[in-house]
Amino acid sequence: MSSARERLQALTSQVGVGGKAKLEQKNPDDIVVTCALRTPITKGGKGGFKDTFAADLLLGAFKALIQRSAIDPSLVEDIAVGTVLAPGGGATEFRAAALAAGFPADTAVKSLNRQCSSGLQACVDIANAIKAGMIDIGIGAGVESMTTQYGPGAVSEFSDKLEEFTEAANCKVPMGVLSENMAKDRGISRAAQDAFAAKSFQKAEAAQKAGLFDQEIAPLEVKWADPKSGEEKTITVREDDGVRKGVTAESLGKIRPAFAKDGSIHGGNASQISDGAAAVLLMKRSTAEKLGQKILGKYVTASIVGVPPLLMGIGPWKAIPVALQKAGIDKNAVDIFEINEAFASQCLWCANELGLDYEKINPKGGAIAFGHPLGMTGARQVSTLLYELKRTGKSIGVTSMCVGTGMGMAAVWVAE
The set of catalytic residues is 116, 372, 402
Which DSSP letter does residue 81 get?
E
Residues 182 and 178: their CA atoms lie apart, in Å, by 6
- Positive or negative, the CA dihedral 357, 360, 364, 366 is negative
Residues 221 and 323: their CA atoms lie apart, in Å, by 38
Residues 81 and 276: their CA atoms lie apart, in Å, by 13
Angle between helices 344-354 and 172-185 (to 10 degrees): 40
Residues 381 and 366: their CA atoms lie apart, in Å, by 9
Residues 405 and 169: their CA atoms lie apart, in Å, by 5
Q: Are 341 and 368 in contact (CB under 8 A)?
A: yes
Strands 396-403 and 336-339: parallel
Nearest of 240, 235, 275, 205 to residue 40 by alpha carbon = 240
